[in-house]
Every structure is written in C-alpha cells, then in structure tokens.
Chain A
C-alpha cells in the first residue's frame, strides 16, 4: 500500500514538475513554441541526468554494500572533469567537443580504476572503491593543474564541475544527446534486470555465489555500465552532486530494500529531485540575474531530507 502510494506520488510529482519546467522560466510563464524549443531539451536532460545519477547510485550502493557510496566514488566524473578542463585548455570547446572530451575522460578513468582494482584476474568490491578514490584524487589534482594553466576559463571549469542542465543545444548536439540517452536507458534497463542478484549480494559473497550469482561478472557489469552512464551524464550536465548518494536512501525508505523497486524508484525520484532543484535555480536566476550551479541546490535540498530519514530510521 505504502509502495503503491509512493509510485503514485513520484509519478504525479514528475508530471507536475515537468509541466512547470515547460511553462516556467526567465521568459516568463508561457507555452510559446520558440521558448519550448529550448525548455524541452533542458527538461529532458534534467530528467535523464537526475534519473540516471540516482539509479546508478542505488546500483553501486547495492554492489559495493556501502550506503555512503556516491556514483562519483568510482572516479569517472573526475575523469570527465579532466577531459573538460583539457578541452578548455586546448580551445576545443565546440558544442559537441566538450561532451566528447568529458566522456573520453570518464572512459579513461574507468579503464584506470578497473585495471588497478584487478588482481589475479579478480576484481573485489573493496579494491574498486580504493582504486576509484585514488583515481579521483589524481584526476582532481590534474584538474587543479589545468585550471591554473587556463586561468581565463577558471569560472567555466568550476561551473561545469558543479553541474548544470542549462545547456545550449544545437541540432547536432541534440541528436548526439538523444542517441546517448537511448543507449543509456538501455544500459539502465540492463542494471534493473540485475535486481535480484544485487539483492542477494547484500549477504556474504560466498552465500551469494552458492545461490547462483556470478559475483565477478556482476561486479564487472555493474561497474562498467555505471561508469559509462556517469560519463554520459557528466558529459552533458557536468558533475551534479548528492543526487546519487541521497535519493537511493529516500527510495529505500519508501519502498523497502528490494532493488526491483529501488532501481526504477530511484530513477523517478532522482528525476523529481533534480527537476525541483532546476526550477529553484530558474526562480533564483529570475529574481537575482545570477545563475547558480545545480550542486548548490541539490545539496541544500538533499541534505535535510537525508538527515530527516536517517534520524527516523535510527530512531
């Protein structure tokens, strides 16, 4: 009953906020077709980014058995940050140049983390976390170096690193985004199909294997797909924080621990939270003329909700 109510609430919120996101913006409350042409891609990117970040967060928390795991712990967003900083330094800043650099950076980081974590042909969950943290630190240092080297673009890099869905879409970029989104949703579906294996992985690894879960294969699948999905999100929307960490906890509170509900539920709730954050940003921008990055609002939104749930669960 509680779960059904949860689905209804999430779907109603998503529909309501989507309508608001289409009608509301700096150009005022309007459904003018020219305005819609810019608001529809922004809406789609926001729903996609929020949904994927939260879904990947839930999958990684399930895989790594660590409630504090954030999608960025596996290093691909830091890798994407290096790619973007490099593109700015080299002056390759065309509308699709930057996403391509970002994605290449994410894939490079994925390769590094996986190679470092692999020992004697096996990848353990702990070694993935440690390698991810190590690569993230190295990538962050590289970004700092690139930021110092390209002082003029400092603000752009910082803005990118904190995420935004206020993106200029040319027709080419829109097609690239649409293609990436379709492939990504397929990969997300693949993750959802692993729901029972992720459930079982919450017990001893040996018990999971004796129940027929190929833990090595599952670890590789979830890690690689997660890193690629995060790479796509960061390439288009930058590194938006907190969604991937906080939303799975909210969803588990609503639906219980089963990944069959947690993964799609996280997609919906992530999309809702990021849409609400983006609408707040638009309001703030209209009132003050200042554009804030998304991570500022997601943290302000997410942390109180997270603390409330944590206190209720501990109580």
Chain B
C-alpha cells in the first residue's frame, strides 16, 4: 500500500528526496509568495503585552526562513499564528491563497507541521507509537493505523537516527532524543510547511548538526521551513531569509548574510559581537567578545 497523501502537496519527507509533484517550485528557486503565507495587517496582543500591530509579511512556498530576535520579541507567537495555534485579533493570514482560519484543523495538519520548543508526554507511549500519531490527520476516527503508516513512521525514525529507540518509552529517553521523536512525528504528517520553535534547544552538538542537515534536505525537497532560532550563526548558515523581531515588531527582513552585522546585533540585543566568516561556507558569522 502506498502512503495516502493530500492532493496537491505531496511530500515524501520521511524517505529519500522526492521532487515536488505539483507547482513550479524547484529546490532553492525564488519562492512564490502567493502560494505560501501572506500576513496582512496582523494585530495580536496578550493581556498585558501588545506584540504585533499591523504586521505585514509574506513567506513564499519553498522558502527557508529563520525567525530571530531577543527574548520576548514575539518569535514563538509569530510562528504559532502561522500554525493557527493562536488566532489574530485583527488582520488576516492567508495560506495557499486561502484564509488560514478557513482550513479544517485536520486538513491544516496535513499541510503545516509544528514542532514545539519542548514536549511533555503524560502517558508513556513508545517512540514508534508517538511518531505514528503524526498520521492522525489522515485517518478517520475509528480507523486503525495501516501498514503504510507504520512504514512511514519507521522511515521517519530511521531518518532521525533513532531506530534503536523505537520501542523505548517516550519518557524513558533523554529530552534531546524526545525532540528528535517529535520532529519525526512532524515528518510523518507529510506537510508542505514545517515550523519549528527553537528545536535545537535540548540537542547535543551532533544532534544539532543532524537536525540542521535534515532541515536543509527537507528544504531542498521543496518543503517550506520556518525556524525560530536563538543561535544567529546557525540561523544564518541554514536559512535563505532572516526575519528579525524586536519588541513585537518585525524590524528587519532580508538575506542572513546582509543582516548579520555587529550593528544589527548591538541595536536589538544590546551587545556588540565580533564579525567573522564561516571557514567552509564563507557565510557571515558573529562571535561573542570576552571583554
């Protein structure tokens, strides 16, 4: 049995790279803003804090976009709004030229996957059972998982390098390994967009590299990636475009290599870093001064 996928946005993101079946996006081509997210005049505030006032920005299909900014800048809120985990108070968000709020929840879950900053599990499912939950948007209420769902879940687990943990309890592995399982679960959703909220927080260096490579691969397969990151260097290395938020406003939007300057960091983070270049990619990097 072949995996069932929603029409029009097929992604075999758990297996080897498969080109996009529809649309004219090819890997790393300029994105088409109409078919991705279009945020218009967005307003959002929490009880005691206004975050966005008339925010307007587009994220095109197939783009790899990093979202950076100091703490409390509204990065997580922004991607939660994109994933429709929060509703705007005013303005609108279009996704694939349709109002985001008009999508049924399950249909949206077939298109947009969200990886939270931290995950907790009240019940001790195995890693495989946890990853299988990513197939929920494709299954009817009483429908059980099919062999194709198991195959997809195992592929995703393999891709994240946690096959040896498949039968372990999700609460009996490290927080980093748990984050990998959650990323595997998001791949099983076969989305066209993946939004990640600081996914590297609990990962050791090798796992950080693994996830960054994976995001690069997903992007080259045609998937849109929106990555909230605290590490500006990592964001600059992997993304095509950087959105800088500060105090609830989008303050900078451009190519990472143009934006990542000591002036920008000093303006929004309050410290002046030392500028440098990555020895392999020659991309702009910053280093914290010791004095």
Contacts and interface: CB of A to CB of B under 8 A. Distances in A.
Contacts of A257: 123-125
Interface stretch (B91-99, B138-146, B234-242): B138-146
Interface in A202-223: 202-204, 206-207, 209-214
- Of B80, B110, B113, B116, the most chain A CB neighbours within 10 A belong to B116
B212 interface: no
Contacts of B121: 202-203
Interface stretch (B128-136, B198-206, B225-233, B268-276): B128-136
A206 B120 CA distance: 11
A183 interface: no
Interface stretch (B20-28, B101-109, B278-286): B101-109
Contact of A206 (B80, B107, B139): B80
B126 to A, nearest CB: 8
Contacts of A212: 105-110, 136-137
Contacts of B182: 207
Nearest to B125: A257
A257 B126 CA distance: 9
Nearest to A215: B105
Nearest to A216: B105
B136 A213 contact: yes
A119 to B, nearest CB: 12
Given A200-B133, A258-B129, A210 B141 contact: no
Contacts of A202: 121-123, 125
A191 to B, nearest CB: 11
Interface string B74-92: 0000001001110000000
B68 interface: no
**Tier of interface size on chain A:** 20 to 34
Interface string A170-213: 00000000000000000000000110110110111011011111
Given A196-B141, A212-B106, A206 B85 contact: yes
A250 to B, nearest CB: 15
A260 interface: yes
A196 B139 contact: yes
Contact of B114 (A62, A65, A207, A256): A207
A211 B137 contact: yes
Contacts of B110: 212
A193 B137 CA distance: 15
**Tier of interface size on chain B:** 35 or more
Contacts of A210: 83, 85, 109, 112-114
A206 B141 CA distance: 20
Contacts of B129: 199, 258
B48 to A, nearest CB: 16
- Of A62, A200, A206, the most chain B CB neighbours within 10 A belong to A206
Contacts of B136: 196-197, 200, 211-213
Interface string B31-46: 0000000000000000
Interface in B120-174: 120-125, 129-130, 133-134, 136-137, 139, 141-142, 144
B116 A204 contact: yes
A200 B122 CA distance: 10
B105 A213 contact: yes
Contact of B119 (A194, A204, A214, A252): A204
B79 to A, nearest CB: 11
B37 to A, nearest CB: 15
B122 A65 contact: yes
Contacts of B189: 211
A197 B143 CA distance: 12
Contacts of B123: 62, 199, 202, 252, 257
- Of B80, B85, B110, the most chain A CB neighbours within 10 A belong to B85
B125 A258 contact: yes
B144 A211 contact: no
Nearest to A209: B85
Contacts of A260: 144
A196 B120 contact: no
A210 B119 CA distance: 13
- Of B118, B119, B142, the most chain A CB neighbours within 10 A belong to B142
Given A199-B133, A206-B80, A211 B109 contact: yes
A213 B105 CA distance: 7
A252 B142 CA distance: 20
- Of A196, A203, A207, A210, the most chain B CB neighbours within 10 A belong to A210
A194 B140 CA distance: 10
B106 A206 contact: no
- Of B83, B84, B112, B114, the most chain A CB neighbours within 10 A belong to B114
28 contacts: A62-B123, A65-B122, A194-B141, A196-B133, A196-B136, A199-B123, A199-B125, A199-B129, A200-B133, A200-B136, A203-B120, A203-B130, A203-B133, A204-B116, A204-B119, A206-B80, A207-B116, A207-B182, A209-B84, A210-B83, A211-B133, A211-B134, A211-B136, A211-B137, A212-B106, A212-B110, A213-B136, A260-B144
Given A210-B83, A260-B144, 15 more contacts: A193-B141, A193-B142, A199-B125, A199-B129, A200-B133, A202-B121, A203-B121, A203-B133, A206-B80, A206-B85, A210-B114, A211-B136, A212-B110, A257-B123, A258-B129
